[in-house]
Amino acid sequence: MRVAFGLLLLFNWLTTFPYRAVFYGENAVITFKTAALVSNYARLDLFGILPQTDTGVYILCMLNLAAALGVLFGLFTRTSLALGFLTVMTFHNRNVFILNSADTLFQNILFLLIFSGAGKMFSLDKVFFGKNQEQEELHAPWALRLIQMQFCMVYISTILFKFKGEAWMDGSAIYIATRLDDLVRLPMPWLLDSMLMIKLMTWGTLVVELSLGTLVWIRELRYWVLAAGVALHLGIEMLMNIPMFEYIMIFTMLSMIDPDDMKKAIQWMKSKTPKSAETASSEALSYETI
């Protein structure tokens, strides 16, 4: 999961760095003063110590890049996660008008990962600072449990909100959403002009999201529910242009995979390499640390 969010941090940096002056600079669409007024000055960001200039924005971007690489490769993992959280939070507070709801989830997960053992597996920290396998201890799973609860709360709150909307109840919500031309990625008139398909997709979305918030806790149903969730978000990604949203949601689903099942998957993958299955099994134990 750490690697997935490291990739997200890096992708986010690659897509925003070229536009840093427009989004965050001293002459950006939203000024520093306006951003402070929007948040009522109650915010956590690094511009309290960095200069509120284009140079300060550039420094922040470089700190964010360092954090992304540290998280991705697991180098000084906890520090990198903390720096990633602070830099992402600073960017979000600098310009809230370019965000979507997944951006909030993104920063929340980064915060919770700080308290996990995310650097104990597939990381440079393990290579340089790790103990012998016999001496390793399992990490307390509270950060993982909080991430799982956050994951389910996203869908439960979404469902409660959608149940209040007439468009979701009468099956026309997706029709309305796919008429927002600025957000449509691939026009599919054969699919989106059929009211029967529109209603089925609208109500199917409600069923899948309700399942992701509730039935995902039932082990026998979990992977069917997660598979449906991945299909849902890939479908949205194909139809709608909402940057990073779907991948943040899909990568957060990794938190719901049972550690025993992850161990089996790692053992199977390692068995296909020259490494022994015994080595794979011992490395898989660290999954419970995230």
Task: Report residue 19 CA to chain centroid gap.
Answer: 22
Question: Averaged over 188-205, what is the pLDDT?
Answer: 91
* Percent of the chain with pLDDT strictly greater than 90: 60
Map out the domains of the chain as residue ranges.
2-139, 154-256, 259-289
List the single range of 65-74, 130-139, 202-211 with lowest mean pLDDT. 130-139
Place of tokens 């309290």: 48
Banded pLDDT at 42 (limits 50, 70, 90): low
**Which residues share a beta bridge with 270?**
none
Question: Averaged over 89-113, what is the pLDDT?
Answer: 92
List the single range of 112-116, 238-242, 266-270 with lowest mean pLDDT. 266-270
Question: Averaged over 43-52, what is the pLDDT?
Answer: 87
Given this model, what pLDDT does residue 137 score? 60
Place of tokens 């109840």: 169
How far apart CA 7 and CA 126 sit, in angstroms, is 19
At 257-288, the pLDDT tens digits run 987 887 787 787 777 776 544 554 554 555 44
H helix runs in the chain, sequence order: 2-16, 20-24, 32-38, 54-73, 77-94, 101-113, 124-129, 142-162, 166-170, 173-177, 189-192, 195-213, 219-239, 245-252, 259-271, 277-284
Residue 53 scores a pLDDT above 80: yes
Question: Averaged over 102-118, what is the pLDDT?
Answer: 92
pTM of structure: 0.85
List the single range of 88-97, 179-188, 192-201 with lowest mean pLDDT. 179-188
Residues 6+ apart with CB under 8 A from 156: 213, 214
Residue 115 scores a pLDDT above 90: yes
- Is residue 206 within 8 Å of 162, Cβ to Cβ? yes
Question: Averaged over 237-245, what is the pLDDT?
Answer: 88
Cα dihedral: 86, 245, 10, 32 (round 10) = -40
Joined together, the tokens standing for residue 242 give 């909402």
Name which of 52, 55, 57 is nearest 23 in CA terms.
57
Given this model, what pLDDT does residue 153 score? 95
Banded pLDDT at 189 (limits 50, 70, 90): confident
Joined together, the tokens standing for residue 211 give 């399942």
Q: Is 163 helix (H, G, I), strand (E, B) or coil?
A: coil
At 141-155, the pLDDT tens digits run 899 999 999 999 999
Q: What's the start-to-end Cα distance of the chain, in Å?
A: 6
How far apart CA 255 and CA 241 sit, in angstroms, is 25
* Angle, helix 77-94 to helix 101-113, in steps of 10 degrees: 150
